[in-house]
Amino acid sequence: MKKSNLYNYTEADSTRGTSERVRRIPLINAIFIILTFRYTYDKTNISQRESSQRLGERVSDITYWRSELLQELDRMLAETNRLDDSRRSLEHALKETEKPFHVSKECLYFRENRQDLVRDKPEENLLREVDTIKDCQHRMRNLLDRVNLQTERTSSQRLRAEVEALLAATYQDMWSAWSRANSGLTLRSAELNDTRNRLLEHRNKVQQEMNDLERQIDSLKKGILDKSLPLKVVHSRLEGRTHRPETELCRDPPQHRMVREVQEISESVEALRQKLQDAEDSLHRLAQVRARLDHDIGVKTNSLYIDRDKCLGLRRSFPLSQPHLIDFNLY
């Protein structure tokens, strides 16, 4: 009986323990589930907050860089427009250099038609001006090629500065060459005009001397002609006296006087003829001098017309406008 009671007690206790264990398992699971839920919930919230924060930061970054890109795009467009303006200015300036170049070549062509074709200072200045313009054109073309190949904004700003500096420098170079050539032509024209005036003055004196000689020659010819009549008279008398009778045909005082008279008139005529010859020789030499003076005056007049009227007439005003300089501190 006792064994039976003990068995029942033990089995009941075992069954009760098993029941408690079985009953306790869902509770543990529930607690575990609750804890797991809370953990995953908290982790999810944390992850979402971190994701939201990361997304917000990414949106801010994208917004910032989008703004920076738009600003850079605006700056690029503005710089491109300014570079285009500089390129057009450079192209215009390069085209404008043809004007002074044409003027210089025309002046050299005009001066090739001078009769006194010499290598003088004005010609050297004109040739130097042509070389200066060619050098400026070469520098402009090289820089224009670089501008056309330009893509970077920072380099573009430097190029624009180079364009402006080159435009200013080439303008000054060509202006200096133009002024130097003008000064040379002006000085040469003044020298030619002064020389021509002195030649004209000398020519007038020569002409006056020739006029005086011509009057003297006319007087000498008249003097010789005037001596011919008394010479004929005395010759007639002498010839008439040869017909005297033999007793009267002698060298008497009248005969001696008429012979001396013939000699005196002949000597006077010879002296007049010598003076006439000298005067005519002088007149011939003066005519040669006058011809040379007329030639020199013609040469100087031609050169003066070319330098003063034709060359300086083309160069009254400098055919280039001064470039507009940009303050790059504003950009």
Separation of alpha carbons 184 and 107, rounded Å = 12
Q: How many CA atoms lie within 13 A of 96 on its CB side?
A: 17
* In the chain, where the domains are located: 1-81, 97-331
CB–CB of 170/93 below 8 Å?
Answer: yes
Q: What stretch of H or E contains 66? A: helix 2-96
Q: One-letter amino acid identity for 165?
A: A
Under DSSP, is residue 227 helix (H, G, I), strand (E, B) or coil? helix
pLDDT one digit per residue (tens) for the chain, 331 residues: 545 556 555 666 666 666 555 555 565 666 766 777 677 777 777 877 877 888 888 888 888 888 888 887 788 788 778 888 888 999 999 999 999 999 999 999 999 888 877 788 999 999 999 999 999 999 999 999 888 887 555 677 788 888 999 999 999 999 999 999 999 999 999 999 999 999 999 999 999 999 999 999 999 988 888 776 676 666 666 665 555 656 555 555 666 666 676 677 777 788 888 999 999 999 999 999 999 999 999 999 999 999 999 999 999 988 888 776 544 443 4
Separation of alpha carbons 300 and 47, rounded Å = 104
